[in-house]
Amino acid sequence: MSDQRRLSDHEMDQLIGRLLQLGVLLAALVTLVGGVMLLAHHGSATPSFTTFRGEPDHLTSLGGIVRGLRELRSDAVVQLGIVLLIATPIARVAFTLVAFMVQRDRTYVLITLVVLVLLLYGLIYGRA
């Protein structure tokens, strides 16, 4: 592969910047929609957060959130926005991995892979 066809560091920076912007925008929009729905449906409830009880199943795992969405639960929509937000830096790392692969930078492919595995472990498995 010739040098011109490889992804330059500068091009990589531009793409990473765009990816982060899009991710945050999308996550904020979904969270906003979910938040408005939540207030419209349960706005007059009086919640208490003074003691920690943990969240119900449909708000704590990716599978649970999908089930909550199928039941059109507003709190699950907010949680989807939050998952999208958590996924944004993870997508950035995944993109960086691809970019280093294109650059054939073996050391950094390995380093980035370690970061990606740690992040996915936290999000999907969730037991540190």
Binding site for other proteins (CB under 8 A): 9-10, 12-14, 16-18, 20-21, 23-24, 27-28, 31-32, 34-35, 38-39, 42-47, 49-56, 59-61, 74-75, 78-79, 81-83, 85-90, 92-93, 96, 107-108, 111-112, 114-115, 118-119, 121-128
Least separation, in Å, of the C-beta of 112 and other proteins? 5
**Residue 122: strand, helix, or coil:** helix
> What residues have CB less than 8 Å from 104, skipping those under 6 apart?
1, 6
Least separation, in Å, of the C-beta of 1 and other proteins? 19
H runs (alpha helix) in 2-128: 9-42, 62-70, 74-102, 106-120
